[in-house]
Each structure stands twice: as structure tokens, then as C-alpha cells.
Structure 1
Amino acid sequence: MNTANTSNATPRDYLANSLIRTQRETIAQCAEHMHRAITHHNIIYTGLTALRLAMIEIPDCPRLISAWFHVLYTDRAQRSKRTGTRYLKLPESLRSQPNITYLHGETVITCTHPLVTWAVLAPFLTQTEVIVLADAMLRAACRAVGSNGTELTKERLSDFLSNVGDFPGIDKCRAALAFLTTPTDSTMECRTLLAFLRHGLPYPIVHWQTRITNPEALVTSDLAYPDQLVVVEYDGDAHRQDKRQYRWDERKRQALRAQGHTVIVAFADDVLTERGRLALARKVAQALGMELPGKPLPPYRALMEDDRRTHDRNRQRRCRARRRGGSGATGTTQA
């Protein structure tokens, strides 16, 4: 993996090494899983399992995370009851797409191509996480995906959606394309960016480079608004695990501040909760000298869909609760 400067080397290596370890473990686990299979059809892995095999970071997916093995099926007869296995249906429009294979000794492990995996997972993900997954897929474009040597680009994602037929979640996938400019360095950085857009901030520059004088170096910042001299950096586990990296990050930020930049550091708590995302967006808006709009700019209005779905679910829950309460009250009166 290319690392143009010291400031980026550790986080990227940390992530890549973690994905390599996960891939190796998943290949071995899938081989064992296949040997224990009692079905007579070929097993094709998909969902989060396929992402781990392809060394792609997994999105936040509470509906599927409890099962480690996600297996494709096209008809109900292929769904056997197995511990730790979730069966996901392959839409008719995606059945002609090629798969990816891996070898574990003499065992051939087959999984869906990342584009198909993206489509299969879309109905289970929020709009935000569909974008996060697409960003992670583009981040994997710097290396071959799978033994087939497939590379992923935004153009390939767009062509895929244009050439396949309809499938559940295709609207989410299409909406994601507007957010795919320069891939971020991690899922958490992507979520940080989307938090800004969700609350109406303009699209920042990703991987902004500038030269600092003390120490003399060309440095890269995660997100930036250069005209307003505002820099935002996400601090994940990699920054805390390597003391040399931590010291370099601090020197870089001190130098940027000395040169007149406002440097805002975001942590997991600022990104993983709605309250944290709102507070972070307000902090950035204040640094930019603007009022926080609260709603996305027109190109990014798709981010409102998650709020609408949450609102609808909460309204349905309240309606069901009222009906249950009314039924109970009637029964008590009759008694």
C-alpha cells in the first residue's frame, strides 16, 4: 500500500493488517463450515462474510451481525438450519453476476463479488451505511479484490447499477453515488464526513495536503475547509496504539494551529451517537463562521431518509402501543 508520508503510514497499515488477519481467519472458518455442511448444493458466501473475505471493512448492520456466516440462497429448499448461519436471498436480477473464489488447501471457497454483496446488503442497511460500505469498497480499489484481481471504482459501481435489473435497496445504492468523491481512510472517517453533510455543512476536501514549517513537512489532514482554515481529524485506535504516530499527529496539529488553522479532533463518541454528531457539526459550523443549517444541501438530501424511516418506525410503535393500551383498558372495564 502506498504511504506518501509518515503521517498516514501507521493508520493505513493498521487497518490493512487488521483486514488481512480477518480474511485469513474467515477463509479458515469458511473451509471448516463447508466441511460440516450437509447440503448437496454449492455454498456461496455473501453479506458480511463475503466482505471479510474480500478484505473490505464491514458496515454497521445490527440485523445481520449475530450470524458469522452469511450464505446465499435462490430458493427456500437451500436454507438448512445451521448454528451461526444466516441465509440471504439473491435477487433474480443479480444471478448472472460472477463470483469470487479463494483457496484453503484444496478447498475452494466461493463468495459473491463485492458489487453483488453491496446490493444484497442494501435492504438491511441504513442509507448512511450503504454509503459507508461503498466508500469502503472504493478504498479497497488500491488492491486487487479477491483472487480474480477485480478492481473497484466509482465508475464500476455506477455501471453495475445501470446494467443490472431492479433489486431491493437499489435506490439506496443509486443515492450513494453522489457521496463518492475521494475515498476516506476508514469507515469512521466516512461517518464523520456524512455527519457534516447530514447537518448542512458543505462537502469538505478529503485528504487535504499542505506544508508546515515546524517541523518542515508536507502533511495530509482527514477533512478540511482550506478557505476558512479549518481542519478536522478523526482519532481512532491506530492513533493511540503507536506512540510515534501519536507524537507526530500532535506536532502536526500544533504546527497547523501555529499557522492559523483551527484543528478539530473527532473521536468515536462524536460520530456514533446522534447527539455527538450534532455537537460535532455545530463545532465545525462555528469554526467556519456560519449557522448550522440542520438539513443537508440539495445534492445530499438522501441522508434525510434515515431520519424519515426512524420517525415512521417510532410512529408505528406509538400506534401499536396505543392500540394495545386501548384493548387492555376495554378488557378491564368489561371484567
Structure 2
Amino acid sequence: MSTVGKSEWSEVKNYASRELRRKRDETLSVCWTQSGKRQGLCDPLCFSLFTALSLLGIEHPECPALPKASFYCTVRKAGHRSELGDVRFHVWARPFETIRFRNGVICMAPVDVWLQFSQYLVVAELVVLAESIIRRRQIGKRDFLERLQRTGRFKGRTRCYEALSLVDEKSESVQETRVRLTILRHGLPQPQVNYAIRLDDGSIVVVDMAYPERRVIVEYDGDHHRIYRNQYLRDQHKRRALHNAGWRVLVVFMDDLWDAEAKERFAQELATALHVPLPGRPSREHRALADPRMNRVLSCKPRKSRHRIRTSR
């Protein structure tokens, strides 16, 4: 018996991991240089927010609410800030943990970075970031909850609890998370993530998301799936086998998440496949996704792809 699907997309996963490591190494070097400018002044620099995520090898969320800067650092008191033109300082009075790298560079610990981001992110992107941290740093959802309970009051605390209620520890990519949240944002049923399907020949196929009772599958394909020929062929063979087994496969591309209209078209396509009406708004259970600031995130779009949603019937 063989298992295909998630276990066979190592080329794509390795590519993403290599890019994150490359970014981490670059950031570690420039942060070391930047830290040297602070020597002899108060406390050493503690990098945070986007800079910390790069140092920790974690994907960045979409965050148009946070002003752009070359470096982000956090201090415990306003008086500890320095006059460094390319550094944006943020005051975070709550207790937080730090990580020190071998070259002496210091950054906030990943869960504390997540807590600090909560004042800038909509709930959906806070979920995206939490799942990225879980995936890249092997931190569990319970660790987030325990840290949140110990931290006390701060701006964004309620949003953190709302985001944790939506976190799925099995998510394997940023865009898969965004697809799932788009589904819930439009009031459609929760799909099963990383669902295993046994085919007639005894092999097991693992898909991104599925509705077993409707025999409908949702899979996200990024550009990496087409760059690597072997991965592309595996995807096509897998979907052909699923089609022959009576499953309908909806393949989602980057431009299906491009803006609100594209997301609604995808949601309608899925609703049609499921033979259910499209509510167009989240259910009571997922109402946190109706964050009134959601539209602000739409101005921070991923690179548009030529590909559109395709279905295998």
C-alpha cells in the first residue's frame, strides 16, 4: 500500500524552506551590523515584528496597517529608544521572551511576536501567522493559549482569542490557510484538512481539503507546483485517480485570492459543487472573520498569476 499526496511534494516544501533560510541568513547578517551601532547604549537591540519573523524563518502575514521600515525593534520603555534612522521602535510593556543567536543578535520569541502583531493584523492574517509559527517552529496551539493567558491585558488580546479558535494545526502552507479562511468567511461548511482518501487499488491519497460526504476536494496550487515537473505530473496523476474514483476536484490558484470579487467567485464555485447556497457571510461560529478591517488587507495583494480556478469533474 502506498501513500501519495502530501508526502510527495518535498520539492515544493524544500523550495519554500530554502527561501526562508536564505532570508534568515541575510537578515541575521544585517541585524548583526545594525546591533553594532547600538553598542554601549542602554540595552542591546531586540528585533521584533517582521524582522523577528525573518530571523526565525517564518512567513510574513499581509499587514498594510504596520508602517514600513527596514528594521523593527521593541523596547520595554519609551526612553530606551535610540536615534537610528532605519529602525522603527515599538514599545511593548508586557513581559516577553527573547531568542539570542550565536552572533549575538536578539529577537522576540515567536509567540510574543504573534501577540505584538495582534494590534496590526485582522483576525484572518493572525490565524495565518499562528499556523506559520506552528508549522515552522513546532509550537503547539496550547503554547499560544498559555502565553496569552499569562500576558494580561493588551491591545489585540480579544483578537488573539478569536484567531486561536480558528487555528488548525494541520495546515501545511500559508495559502492553504487563506483558502480555508476564505471558505469560512463566505459561510460555507468547514472542510477537513489534509484528508486521506483510500482508492480502489489500496493506495492512500492525501488532499489539502475535502468534503467527504459531498465527494468534493479543494486543492491549492502555487507557482512552485508548476515549476517542478515531477510535482506537476504527480498532481495530475493524483487528480485523475480521484476523478476516476468519483471525486470532484477544485484547484485554486493565487489569483483566486486576489481580491474580494475573486474570492467570492471561488466561494460560489465551491458552493455550487457542494450543492448548497452561498450565504456570503460567516456563520456565528466563525463570525470573527467578519472583522470590519478586512477590506484594508485587500490592498496588500499577492503577485497575480495568469491561472484561474479549474475543476475536475
Shorter-chain TM-score bucket reads 0.7 to 0.9
Contact 2:47 2:74 in 1 (8 A): yes
Task: Report the Cα distance in structure 2 between the residues aligned to 1:198 and 1:56, rounded to whole angstroms.
Answer: 25
The SS at the match of 1:26 is: helix
Deviation at 1:261, TM superposition (A): 0.8
Higher relative contact order (CA 8 A, sep 6+): 2
Distance 1:67 1:191, change over 3 A: same
What stretches of structure 1 of length at least 5 have no aligned partner? 143-151, 311-335
Check if 1:140 corresponds to 2:142: no
Could you give the per-residue CA deviations for residues 197-256 of structure 1, whole angstroms, max 9, x where no partner exists? 000011111111113457x74221111111111111111122122111011111111111
Deviation at 1:7, TM superposition (A): 3.0
- Runs of 4+ residues deviating >4 angstroms: 3-6, 307-310
Could you give the per-residue CA deviations for residues 123-147 of structure 1, whole angstroms, max 9, x where no partner exists? 11111111111111111244xxxxx
Pairing partner for 2:74 from 72, 95, 105 = 72
Task: Report the Cα distance in structure 1 between the residues aligned to 2:213 and 2:169, rounded to whole angstroms.
Answer: 19
Task: Report the Cα distance in structure 1 between the residues aligned to 2:233 and 2:147, rounded to whole angstroms.
Answer: 43
User: Number of aligned pairs?
Assistant: 292
Letter in structure 1 aligned against 2:156: G
Pairing partner for 1:285 from 259, 262, 271 = 271
Q: Which moved more, 1:29-38 or 1:230-239?
A: 29-38
Letter in structure 2 aligned against 1:201: L
Could you give the per-residue CA deviations for residues 43-73 of structure 1, whole angstroms, max 9, x where no partner exists? 1011011111111111011243732311012
Write 1 or 2 for the structure with the bigger share of helix. 1
Deviation at 1:42, TM superposition (A): 1.1
Pairing partner for 2:112 from 104, 113, 116 = 116
The SS at the match of 2:165 is: helix
Task: Report the Cα distance in structure 2 between the residues aligned to 1:227 and 1:112, rounded to whole angstroms.
Answer: 44
Pairing partner for 2:86 from 68, 72, 84 = 84
Task: Report the Cα distance in structure 1 between the residues aligned to 2:78 and 2:221, rounded to whole angstroms.
Answer: 45
Distance 1:297 1:118, change over 3 A: same
Q: Match of 2:10?
A: 9
Task: Report the Cα distance in structure 2 between the residues aligned to 1:212 and 1:22, rounded to whole angstroms.
Answer: 40
Task: Report the Cα distance in structure 2 between the residues aligned to 1:66 and 1:308, rounded to whole angstroms.
Answer: 19
Task: Report the Cα distance in structure 2 between the residues aligned to 1:236 and 1:309, rounded to whole angstroms.
Answer: 23
Q: Match of 1:190?
A: 177
Percentage of identical aligned residues: 31
Q: How does 1:82-231 map to 2 (within 5 A)?
A: 82-90=84-92, 92=93, 94-95=94-95, 97-104=96-103, 108-142=104-138, 152-212=139-199, 217-231=203-217
Deviation at 1:268, TM superposition (A): 1.0
Task: Report the Cα distance in structure 2 between the residues aligned to 1:7 and 1:237, rounded to whole angstroms.
Answer: 17
Max Rg structure: 1
Could you give the per-residue CA deviations for residues 59-89 of structure 1, whole angstroms, max 9, x where no partner exists? 0112437323110123333333434321122
Contact 1:222 1:233 in 2 (8 A): yes
Distance 1:307 1:286, change over 3 A: farther
TM-score of the aligned structures, taking structure 1 as reference length: 0.81
Q: How does 1:6-45 map to 2 (within 5 A)?
A: 6-37=7-38, 39-45=41-47
Task: Report the Cα distance in structure 2 between the residues aligned to 1:162 and 1:6, rounded to whole angstroms.
Answer: 36
Task: Report the Cα distance in structure 2 between the residues aligned to 1:239 and 1:47, rounded to whole angstroms.
Answer: 30
Q: Which moved more, 1:274-283 or 1:62-71?
A: 62-71
Q: Match of 1:271?
A: 257
Distance 1:6 1:175, change over 3 A: closer
Letter in structure 2 aligned against 1:110: I
TM-score of the aligned structures, taking structure 2 as reference length: 0.87
The CA RMSD over aligned residues, in Å, is: 2.1
Letter in structure 1 aligned against 2:170: P
Pairing partner for 2:286 from 286, 296, 300 = 300
